[in-house]
Amino acid sequence: MAGTDANNDGVRDDVESYIDTTYPVPANIDINKALRQYAKAAQSSILDADDAAKSITHVTERFRALECLMARRPTDFHPVFVELRARMLDTNPRSEAYLKADSQATSESLPLLPADQWVGACI
């Protein structure tokens, strides 16, 4: 389920290749970094789906990454996000783990940042 991550950066190689091909740097550095931020958080969610505490942490990390993406691509973040998520959840076990991680966090109140702070969510 983990897939190959040859450079151990927390992003699967196939996803990393998609991001780099679709949003090459340096011209797209901000969106590239935002998508990597989301991909890393989503991968952690998938791998740690059986751990409730880690799932809550990773769902929060995914929210921060989405806020970053919305700051970087305010007019078209949704299709950009949907395409990346589809590539992340390319197998049934990955999709099921992602949903399990989400279900671990449904009882939690996850704080969302105001729109004027979204860029601060970028790491």
Q: Could you report the per-residue pLDDT of 58-73, keeping only the tens digit for each?
A: 999 999 999 999 999 9
Q: Structural domain boundaries of the chain? A: 13-107
What are 87-101's pLDDT values in tens digits? 999 999 999 999 999
Query: Which pLDDT tens digit goes with each residue over 17-30?
Result: 999 999 999 999 99
One-letter amino acid identity for 55? S
Report the distance separating Cα 32 and Cα 47, nearest Å: 22
Q: Is cis: bond before 93, omega within 30 of 0? A: no
Name the band, by pLDDT with cuts 50, 70 and 90, for residue 104.
confident
Residue 30 burial (C-beta neighbours within 10 Å; 0-12, 13-18, 19+): middle
